[in-house]
Amino acid sequence: MARLRALSIAVIALALACAAAALAPAATAAGATAPLRALTAAHPEPGDVDGDEVPDGLDNCPTTPNGSQLNTDGDAPGDACDPDDDNDAIIDTSDNCRLVSNPDQLDTDSDPRRGDACPAADTDGDGRFDDDDNCRAVANPDQSDINGDDQGDACDRDDDGDRYDDGFDNCPVVYNPDQADLDGDGIGSGCDAAELIAGPPGGSTGPGGQAGGPGAAGTPGAATDASAPSVTVKVQRRQRLSEAGRSLVVTVTCSEACTLDAVVSANAQAARRARLGSTRAVLARGSWSLAGAGRTYVFARWTSAARRLRAGRTLAATLQLTATDAAGNRRRLSRRVDLRR
């Protein structure tokens, strides 16, 4: 049994290594390399193969992340790895009440998704029924759960599962329990662009726009590139400043090597209503770089204007994200952000 378990762990580790290699940003035409230090997206700690913070010996799904240990029918496997969560002899994929035993599958209103035994309920109005929503009281239709603990990022105080609450974590969405910060700038080494991004071989290491980075002048092919990069942006719309830590975390994907600049601001009218002055107020700003196509995070540091927001007030602001490729082509995207003290 011990030998079989060791073999299983080795296979999982190999699979994780292959996945990490597949996710690494591709080299650019200029020869830019991938990040110097791979970000730890999966982290099978000793005695916790699935990385859900539940020791293997106590985990009812030892190879499937299920930090909540939800087990509706009380049998051996938890819901995350149980093909029949309510033990009614109807497989979950065919069961019109996955968490309520109803072997008769009665559905008098002919709703193909819900049997009579489990009428629909959606407390937070995000389009996900409560029995399949990882944040029942907070709207999160994307169900994002970075650390796989069954608690969605929108209502999880520790999104990356490294046992540091987001407000005190120098990499709130990247697992880094050592909180290392080699350059002492307050952004952990596990998610710091200045420490992670490499330019072409022989160039200097640093964020794009510096020598050798993805915005450096003279990059081969830049003169013929007239297309702006394809970019996606995700940010939690409602931000409570008392819980957000020092930065607004913005998830960005870029189709090529690019520099990223994020600015959060409130127009003059909104700033006046919030008593932050009579002109446009810049509330957060941050920059980031990618050495090749991929996904990263921009950490926009809160400014003194944001910290002056009074308790109980909500301020409507706009996040503007600008992505610039090596040829100087720009793509700008905007998102609404509501700030509350």
Residue 308 lies in a domain: yes
> Are 153 and 138 a contacting pair, CB within 8 Å?
no
Residue 240 lies in a domain: yes
Looking at residue 8, what is its pLDDT? 47
Looking at residue 313, what is its pLDDT? 84
C-alpha to C-alpha distance for 305 and 127, rounded to whole angstroms: 35
179: left (phi over 0), alpha (psi -120 to 50) or beta: left
C-alpha to C-alpha distance for 80 and 71, rounded to whole angstroms: 8
Residue 24 lies in a domain: no
Residue 119 lies in a domain: no
Looking at residue 317, what is its pLDDT? 94
In our burial notation (b when 16+ CB lie closer than 10 A, e otherwise), range 18-57 reads eeeeeebbebbebebbbbeeebbebbeeeebbbbbbbebe
Residue 258 lies in a domain: yes
- Supply 268's token pair: 């003059």
Looking at residue 128, what is its pLDDT? 84
- Supply 246's token pair: 């020092």
- Supply 137's token pair: 């009281």
Amino acid at position 48, single letter: D
Query: pLDDT (tens digit, 0 to 9) for every residue of the chain, 341 residues total?
Result: 444 444 444 444 444 444 433 333 333 333 333 333 333 334 455 677 776 778 888 999 988 878 778 888 889 999 889 999 999 999 988 888 888 899 998 888 766 678 888 877 788 888 887 777 888 888 888 888 776 667 787 887 777 777 787 878 888 887 788 788 877 888 887 787 666 543 322 333 333 333 334 443 345 555 578 899 999 998 888 888 877 677 888 888 899 888 899 999 999 999 999 889 889 999 999 888 887 888 878 888 899 999 888 888 889 999 999 999 989 999 999 999 999 88
Degrees (nearest 5) of the Cα angle 58, 63, 69? 45
> Residue 308: helix, strand or coil by DSSP?
coil
CATH number of domain containing 254: 2.60.40.2550
Range of the domain at 307: 215-340
Degrees (nearest 5) of the Cα angle 250, 256, 259? 50
C-alpha to C-alpha distance for 11 and 3, rounded to whole angstroms: 12
Residue 319 lies in a domain: yes
Half-sphere exposure of 281 toward its Cβ, with a 13 Å CA cutoff?
A: 25
Residue 329 lies in a domain: yes
Looking at residue 150, what is its pLDDT? 72
Looking at residue 147, what is its pLDDT? 67
Domains contained in the chain, number: 1
Residue 149 lies in a domain: no
